Amino acid sequence: MSSMITGVFNILATPFDESLAVDTGSLRRLVSFQLDKGVHGLTILGVLGEAAKLTTDERRLVLETVVDEVNGRVPVVVGTSHQNREVTVELSRQAFAAGAAAVMIAPPVFEQPGDEAVLALYDHLAGAFDGAIVVQDFPPVTNVTLSAEVLAALAARIPAIQLLKLEDPPLMQKIGAVRALTDRYQIFGGLGGMYFLEELRRGASGTMTGFAFSEILVATYDLFHSGRHADAERLFDHYLPLIRFENQPVINLSIRKELLFRRGAIAHPALRPPFAPIDQGTRDEIGWMLRRVGIADATQKLVLAAG
């Protein structure tokens, strides 16, 4: 199944209504919206999906709603990270029972971080359920650094680990370091897609990110893999200001949900606390940024020309 996990995987936001309950209607709409944009797969219940703010019952609701709406059309990767490893096991079993292609797991914050603790964790998890594991390497959130050597050891030691979501800058150098030690991984970038083209040039298999205009990343990927590298560069560089603007530290998720709301993908841009709101100046800048890159109407599907 992991061989199917390549290309652009949109990390879904979790829509909430005005009372901050999970909005399953908007969630279904968001799934259809992303599939219409041509994504190669979906990733749910990650950091962008505010998984840490959901109860286990709500996580199951999101899982079952998304898998039902997708109905086998693309692979679904499910974030199952949790500070309690046995909860991670149960969430992972639920994900595979529902039809997930893989689960994405970041190491929890250990009291005594160390390479052996990381290896032991993934050993335990791989022995507790059957299915592909995406190792999430995201030190800014986990506070755990996974060296290229540890990542290579995980891939060699645990057959279920063949996928890596790498968000540990400098990204391209780390992709190169991992590739120099093992060819077992399909590597995916993230960080809002800001370095997507560079990641592809270093041998990444795709990206997992929540950028609100996923069709731009899909078109970049398709051009790159068809050998039209100059066209991929022109297209990506044209929209890079928007990618950069959306991925501002602290408020990136607030901007992303506002854009998804403006695109008609969700009914309300609400986030659960804690979160950093955007001010009116930022809302005005969103419209200005869209105009700068030639998007007159955020609700329309973009017609992307490579030339």
Residues of the chain with pLDDT under 50: 1, 307
Give residue-wise pLDDT tens across range 8-43.
999 999 999 999 999 999 999 999 999 999 999 999
Give residue-wise pLDDT tens across range 151-160.
999 999 999 9
Q: The pTM is what?
A: 0.95
Give residue-wise pLDDT tens across range 96-133.
999 999 999 999 876 566 889 899 999 999 999 999 99
- Kindly state the tokens that stand for 242: 């928007």
**Which among 44, 28, 48 has a CA at the least distance from the CA of 76?**
44
Q: Which domains does the chain have, with CATH numbers?
A: 2-226 (3.20.20.70)
Share of the chain above pLDDT 70, in %: 97
